[in-house]
Amino acid sequence: MQLANIKKELGIATCALLQVPAATVNAADSEWDIDTAVLFYSESDNGVSAFEPAIYASKDLGDGQLIDLRLVVDVLTGATPNGAPASSVLQTFTTPSGTGTYFAQPGETPKDDSFKDTRVAAGVDWTLPFNRLSRIKLGLNGSTEYDYQSLGVSATYLQDFNNRNTTFSAGLAFNNDTISPVGGVPTPLSNMRAAGTGTNRVGGDDTKTVTDFILGITQVLSRKTLVQLNYSLGMSDGYLTDPYKIVTVVDQNGLPATSAFTNGDLPYLYEKRPDSRQINSLYFKVVQSLTRDVINFSYRYFWDDWGITSNTFDLKYRYEIGRGYLQPQVRYYLQDAADFYVHNLKLGAPLPDTVSSDYRLAKMTTTTLSLKYGYALGDNSELSVRAGFMNQSVDDGDVLAGTETPDTDAIIVNAGYSFFW
Amino acid sequence: MMLVSLCLFLTSTGSFADIGKAPAIHLPAIDGEVDLAQLEGKVVYLDFWASWCDPCRDSFPWMAEMKEKYGSDGLEVVAVNLDKERALADTFLKTMKVNFVVAFDASGESAEKYGLRGMPGSYLIGRDGNIQASHLGFNDKDKAKLEAAIKVLLQQQ
Amino acid sequence: MKAIIYLGVLFLMAGCSSMDTVKPWDKDILAKKSMQPVPDFFENFYDEHIYFSKEASSGGQSVGGGGCGCN
């Protein structure tokens, strides 16, 4: 038992045990409960790196009203795969602006490194109780980066039953996103063109809207066990394509069909995804106390109308050690490919309506192992740090040797400091 | 008439009123022990709390204030601790002004007898030893209502 | 449809909930921060963000939160 960390350990017995950040649960005495954190993410092989400082503040306004605010700055650097697989020949690509050129050496997976991104995201949530057993949480969120803006609202209703052993929740959210790619929206399935020869662009911006529903139940099973089950439904409409991703057209030898295209056209077509997507997920979580330690396990089954299904397993075991704790974590994720995912297109074959070579839509597995250490500095503050390794491995099936999708390996380190102010 | 409206008044804030003779309480306390039977003739504000209950933390200063204001008029405050480990309660109490009776019931039997539905949970017991009202939770809005109820009961003989 | 079956499971759970109610004073362990479904806001936030950017699946725990042009 951590006697020292009183304020942080306080939970409201009569409070819902659902989807409320613990910081909010423990807010008291008209003080702000503040969480500061930073993330370092770094991929090997000149991949993406991210530096993401963030702050969260929560306050009990009295009478059961809660407000929480969050601000996150996301600084991204590095190179990202453009969708084309490696080849045994040198490959040449044009940057999104249409004026620059970049290359992929033989055997090298093409990556566009002209991509730099800083994103700022902010959100505020206001919890308003109706009575002792029910409340609504209203949220507003937005983010901006140089080629993408997002604005959204949400409302989640929570109702307790059964001496507060059961909490039912129902949530709804709307998001509107504007995509303003560098160089303008490309014409889907058109050719990428050599630098300086003009671009195949629809031009300008495009938008997408996302509507999400969630239904959930949190249930206390015993003095030491809590379970949660959520069903979510999401519908996206509009521009769902990645404006920077291309698909390679290969000849009968499996090489980019450069000579088949003339007038500055390169053997790479801009991808095209469907203009709507419906996603579903069933999420289960169990939190189990064992003497001093805690196991937190979750499983999510996901399926959508793009043919993607996935299974996510996440297990954390918290070992209490005096004023601190050690928490190993393992996450295992398996995904099936989207219907329109291809490794490449064959020259002469009929063009599909929708196609993408983005490896994130492929059949793949992500495995993450991490270890976190947390320590209570005083009654009201805690310092924590977590370090982990992530490996993403794509199952290409039968593809030409030398064009396999390489693994993505990344180091993830995040640290946090929380306190009352 | 007043008492009925009092019960309804407090019940409407989401509490569960057990009207009738207050179940016996005989528990160890900070200064020896407490026996509810011996407090008959006084108005008793009986409160159930635990160190891990956030609103309980807010209710303590208010309970101390009530005892100070109305103790001489016959108010007794009895705060029954339901922590399973006495050490946790002691740590909590160290940070509080305590001018009232604090009793300890790690078994939770007294809470069971009173049919406690949530924490903090309190019962107002009249001079006749009967439960007149009960209340669940604690926030700023509740203070005035509870104080008014205490005054009404103190006026009775 | 699959969704209906899963919703049915949800309601079954609600039905089970009336058994073996845990008393308010027995929720000391459940009140601990380490027993919350999400004890660390940013640990969960960062994970959600990383996997939203690197995988085709997202969400499941809550709604809202916005999108990003994660390349």
Q: Is the pLDDT of residue C1 over 80?
A: no
Contact state of C39 with A22 under an 8 Å Cβ cutoff? yes
Of A19-23, A67-71, A400-404, B55-59, the range with the lowest mean pLDDT is A19-23
Average pLDDT over residues A330-359: 97
Reference A222, options B27, B48, C27; nearest CA is C27
A30 — pLDDT class (breaks 50, 70, 90):
low
Helix, strand or coil, per DSSP, at residue A164: coil
pLDDT of residue B141: 83
| Residues of chain A with C-beta less than 8 angstroms from the C-beta of C37 | 17-19, 218, 226, 228, 285, 287, 296
- What does the pLDDT look like over A121-175, one tens digit per residue? 999 999 999 988 999 999 999 999 988 999 999 999 999 998 889 999 999 999 9
- What does the pLDDT look like over A82-106, one tens digit per residue? 999 999 999 999 999 889 999 999 9
Contact between A209 and A236 (Cβ < 8 Å): yes
User: Is residue A15 classed exposed, middle or buried when 0-12, 13-18 and 19+ CB atoms within 10 A define those classes?
Assistant: buried
Helix, strand or coil, per DSSP, at residue A408: strand
| Residues of chain C with C-beta less than 8 angstroms from the C-beta of B82 | 25
Look up tokens 């308010």; give the residue. Answer: C24
The dihedral built from the CA positions of residue A345, A348, A350 and A351, taken in this order, carries a sign that is positive
| Residues of chain B with C-beta less than 8 angstroms from the C-beta of C23 | 108, 111-112, 116
Q: Is the pLDDT of residue A28 over 60?
A: no
For chain B, list the domains and their CATH numbers.
2-155 (3.40.30.10)
Reference A281, options A315, A233, A213, A210; nearest CA is A233
What is the rounded distance in angstroms from the CA atom of residue B140 to the CA atom of residue A296? Answer: 35
Look up tokens 């015993």; give the residue. Answer: A222
Considering chain A, what is the average pLDDT of its residues? 91
Chain centroid offset of residue A289 CA: 29
Contact between A17 and C37 (Cβ < 8 Å): yes
Please list the residues that pair with A298 across neighbouring strands.
A285, A314
pLDDT of residue C16: 55
Q: Is the pLDDT of residue A15 over 80?
A: no
ipTM over 0.85: yes
pLDDT of residue A16: 35
pLDDT of residue A13: 35
Q: Is B13 an interface residue toward A (CB < 8 Å)?
A: yes
pLDDT of residue B87: 94
Contact between A25 and A59 (Cβ < 8 Å): no
| Residue, of C66 and A239, whose pLDDT is higher | A239
pLDDT of residue B11: 41
For chain A, list the domains and their CATH numbers.
6-420 (2.40.160.40)
Interface of A with B (CB under 8 A): 1, 3, 6, 9-15, 25-26, 28-29, 62-64, 131-133, 163-164
Look up tokens 């499971």; give the residue. Answer: C9
- What does the pLDDT look like over C8-41, one tens digit per residue? 666 666 555 555 689 999 999 999 999 999 999 9
